[in-house]
Structure 1
Amino acid sequence: MLARFFQFDRHGTTAAREIQAGLTTFAAMAYILAVNPAILAAAGMPRGGLVTVTALAAAASTLIMGLFTNFPLALAPGMGINAYFAFTVCLGLGVPWQSALGLVFINGFAFLALSVSGIREKIINIIPFQLKMAITCGVGLFIAFIGLRNGGLVVADANTLVTHGNLGTPSVLLFFAGLLLTIILVTRGVPGAIILSILGITLAGLVIPDGKGGHLTNWPDHVVSLPASMSDTFLKLNFDYFAHDPVKATTVVLTLLLIALFDNIGTLVGVAQRAGLLDAEGKLPGAGKALISDSIGVILSSLFGTSNVVSYVESASGVAAGGRTGLVSVTVAALFLGALFFTPLILAVPAVATAPALVVVGIFMFQSVAELNLKDFHEAAPAFLIILGTPLTFSIAEGIGLGLLAFAVVYLCTGRGRQVSWLIYVLAGIFGAHLFRDLFARLF
């Protein structure tokens, strides 16, 4: 039955190989179970229930992807998007997390409409390649900066704005050692490098004092338990913020759309290429189904109570292990559900253990800088503003806005205006309204 449904003969694989590939993919992305709750908790959301929410959102969306498309793709709350949700939308703009979930829900439906109509792929083709890569790099620096801050290696300073932390502090020293360990494991190609480093740092924290009479890691009272209740976040979304500030709300939704657009399409094509699923023209048959699947996943994530799910590039590790069909996704979904019964262990993971994962994921994303053409100043300047503006303004939306505005103005003022799609000018105008909202408020 499995062979017929997942077409093993057509893809030259077996059930055993697909399940093994699923185990590999899960090991590579299981860190999200500890990292996502830690990030979203900063927005005031209950951390215990967030483990359940993260696992269920990942399991449901990954299962839909596997059964509906037969692609070996896994989904989970996206890194970068969760940081934008917590630190920029909730803490920076002051949006209650319930209202932020409402914006994620609206984004999900917009995502679905664009996917069904085919407009989603056209938008991706219209956005200049340089800006896509710059956004990826900027988000990478943003995530890495949060990791360095959470680990205590970068701290605020009244004179220099930021400076290095105290490496004589046990937690900072453990973070730095953990960061080096993670980099070494990734460099050596160790399967599940990130989750292994998180486990290693967590175990080390059991014997390292925190300076307050305890240890950096507190062993839980129970190893196995029933899944934590998600009643505090399930269906708690509301849509009040759109009525309160429609300009800011539109900007947030557009930012979520843009980040998810580039993230999902890039991962989808990259993983499909490695799996040999592209046709002779380099296109992916059934791509529309994949786009619809992750759109539904975004809607479900908002209902459960977390930021957008996205297709994970770690799916490539399962493909490298021989995975070719949706049974890989089904296996990953089952493992996420199984992890729910180990919530006490996941909650015991300290922030110092997840911080190196943020830095390393940021490095992965920043590697896209190699694709940029920095010799042409028309392209280099807007890209640079996105890359630098995103971490320094501590906002993905502000970074994208600076780059889009610069791109549109530079092309208009240098006689290249007709080379740019009208949609770029519309997006630049929307982000411009967001950036200059205070000026508009004074004038009008």
Structure 2
Amino acid sequence: MKEKNKTIARWKNRELRKEGMILEKFFKLSENNTNIHTEFLAGLITFMTMAYILAVNPEILSASGMPKGGVFIATVIAAAIGSAMMGFFSNYPFALAPGLGINAFFSYTVVNSMGYSWQFALWAVFIEGIIFLLLNAASIREKIFNSIPLSLKAAVAVGIGLLIAFIALQGGKIIVANNNTIVGLINFHDVDMHTSGIWALLTLLGIIITSAFVIKDIRGAILLGIFATWLLGIVTEFVGIYVPNPEAGFHSAIPQFGDYLDSLGHAFREFGITCGALFNPESWTHTRDGAIIGQGVSLIKSLDFIVVIFAFLFVDIFDTLGTLIGVSVKGGFLTEDGKLPNLSKALYADAIATTTGAICGTSTTTTYVESAAGVAYGGKTGLTAVSVALFFLLSLLFAPVFMAIPGFATAPALIMVAYFMMTSIAKIDWTNPRESIPAFICMIAMPLSYSISDGIMFGVISYTLINALTGKIKDVHWVMIVLTAIFLLKYALM
């Protein structure tokens, strides 16, 4: 019997080694100075920092009339397919999921304000993805990426870091809305200490704990910080210090299983409504109230629809490029002349993910800036992105666990990611004002406009105009000049 067990153990070890060799060969792990263990944990960290989209996306898109359960399944599938394609196609550790912000544009502007049905709005997302594919075929997005000077690329990384920090401090309830100064620091004397008060304190404590792990150079410091802060939250909830209030956005930190299987079954039934709805003419109408657009307003609505498509396209292009630039700078993926090898494959994966997501029933799927969390841990290959895809699929089985990860647990992790991305500021040539001033404008515009794409546009416009006014227009790439004209026209007509 013992001999039989030894034989089974040897067979299992041989199979594991064989699988490891396949992963090593496909993802070129040794060549990238990484291993399966590091890539897997990097994927877990990336997933945990972006798992909030599983709760937020259904909430936002349901405002358009879409069934919340169906959107949850669509979010999981779109994120899993997009991340897996990114990993297999480009061999980069970039994760994808339905974009936050553009989903709000889908619900609150396209559907609620402009009056389109959600099914019809999905057509806009689907067509945007097709246009993306055509732009990739013409290498237009790649030309845009390569035309941006190194100083602006570094500035994009820093700007994204500032934006991530701002988002994290908001999610941690430390920075709040303020009537006098737009935003301000939480006032613990004026808030409920059982909800937002303790939430902010746990965030601050989590930042200190995670910082200590990072300073001590503990392996998996960011992941350990998430778990340690989450555990503190569970303890405070058990003793009654933290009191969940779901209606106010303060959910329980303790996983709630309950009738999960029934809820999952209901979600899959609703997914049947969203999946492929855009290809069924009987299931969608032009307007949200169920009416077909009349001939008298069809031209105006058609023009509106074109505007909607290009709004999705425009935001997705520069959010994606900004994320790829920022994370690539931090991960050291760029060549000496600022180019990203296999960029076209990464962009194809992003475009295909958008069209696939629209078919499943969700708004634009895009590359996530939270990918920087996995890169900061050490993720360097597509195996990280594939691991993220697997975790999204697993979230169907363990959704109560993942959905219970509170914002105060992930906020400290994002603060650390922001800190790591800020180090790219050293790559800007501060002795050359022609380079550094546009870089500064780019990086500061991102958090203040709450938009990666607007930050890039501000940087491109200022770079071109400053160099033109100082007699250095010949040093500006022609693509940058074309982009400047397009951006100025966009702001003039918006």
Q: Same fold (TM over 0.5)?
A: yes
Per the alignment, residue 25 of structure 1 pairs with 42
Residue 489 (structure 2) aligns with: 433
Report if the CA contact (8 A) 1:124-1:261 is conserved: yes
TM value normalised by structure 2: 0.69
- Tell me the residue number matched to 2:95: 75
Selected match of 1:217 from 246, 252, 257: 252
Shift of 1:338: 2.1
Task: Specify the SS of the correspondent of 1:77.
Answer: strand
2:96, 2:350 within 8 Å by CA — same for their partners in 1? no
SS of 2:176's partner is: strand
2:60 is the alignment partner of 1:43: yes
Match of 1:379 in 2: 435
1:129 Cα shift?
A: 2.0
Deviation at residue 268 of structure 1 after TM alignment: 6.4
Counterpart in the other structure of 2:76: 55
Cα shift readout 1:1-28 (whole Å, capped 9, x = no counterpart): 8578657499587xxx965445323322
Change (3 A) 1:361 1:376: same
Residue 386 of structure 1 deviates from its aligned partner by 2.1
- The amino acid of 2:324's aligned partner reads N
Residue pair 2:125, 2:358 contacting (<8 A) in 1 also: yes
- SS of alignment partner, residue 430 of structure 2: coil
Task: Map 1:82-231 to 2 at 5 A.
Answer: 82-86=99-103, 98=118, 104-167=125-188, 169-187=197-215, 188-191=217-220, 192-193=223-224, 195-197=226-228, 199-200=230-231, 202-207=233-238, 208-210=240-242, 217=252, 219=254, 220-222=256-258, 225=261, 226=264, 228-229=267-268, 231=271
Q: Which amino acid aligns with 1:310?
A: T
- Determine whether 1:352 maps to 2:397: no
Report deviation, 1:218.
Answer: 5.5
Tell me the amino acid that sits aligned with residue 210 of structure 2: T
Judge conservation of contact 2:58–2:68 (CA < 8 Å) in 1: yes
Give the deviation of 1:126 after TM superposition.
Answer: 0.9
The verdict on how the C-alpha distance between 1:200 and 1:109 changes in structure 2, with shifts beyond 3 A counting, is farther
Distance of aligned partners of 1:247 and 1:52 in 2 relative to their CA distance in 1, 3 Å threshold: closer
- Secondary structure of residue in 1 paired with 2:219: coil
- Quick one: which amino acid aligns to residue 258 of structure 2? H
Asked whether the 8 Å contact 1:44–1:97 carries over to 2, the reply is: no
Residue in 2 aligned with 1:442? none
Q: Is the 8 A contact 1:252 1:397 kept in 2?
A: no
Q: Partner of 1:253: helix, strand, or coil? A: helix
Aligned partners of 1:205 and 1:217 also within 8 Å: no
Q: Paired residue for 2:297?
A: none
Partner of 1:421: 477
Q: CA deviation at 1:31?
A: 0.9
CA distance in 1, matches of 2:128, 2:101: 14
Shift of 1:297: 2.6
For 1:217, the aligned partner's letter is S
Match 1:250 to one of 310, 320, 334: 310
**Gaps in structure 1 of 5+ consecutive residues:** 439-444
How many pairs align?
424
Residue aligning to 2:454: 398
- The root-mean-square deviation of aligned C-alpha atoms, in Å, is 4.4
CA 1:409–1:149: 2 relative to 1, 3 Å: same
Q: What's the CA shift for 1:342?
A: 0.8
User: Using a 3 Å threshold, how does the CA distance of structure 1 residues 92 and 145 change in structure 2: closer, same or farther?
Assistant: farther
Q: Secondary structure at the match of 1:156?
A: strand
Report how far residue 282 of structure 1 moved.
Answer: 11
Structure 2 CA distance for aligned equivalents of residues 134 and 285 of structure 1: 20
Q: Return 257-266 or 40-49, whichever deviates more.
A: 40-49
In 1, Cα distance between equivalents of 2:468 and 2:339: 33
Question: In the aligned structure 2, how far is the partner of 1:32 from the partner of 1:390?
Answer: 20
Q: 1:43 to 1:333 in 2, by over 3 A?
A: closer
Q: TM-score, normalised by structure 1?
A: 0.75
* CA separation of 1:420 and 1:268: change in aligned 2, threshold 3 A: closer
Classify the secondary structure of the residue corresponding to 2:173. coil
Q: Residues of 2 paired with 1:390 and 1:272: CA distance?
A: 22
Larger radius of gyration: 2
Summarize the Cα distance change of 1:248–1:184 in structure 2 as closer, same or farther, 3 Å threshold: farther
Superposition deviation, residue 242 in structure 1: 7.6
Q: What code does the residue aligned with 2:185 have?
A: H
Which letter maps to 2:252? T
Deviation, structure 1 residue 260: 1.4
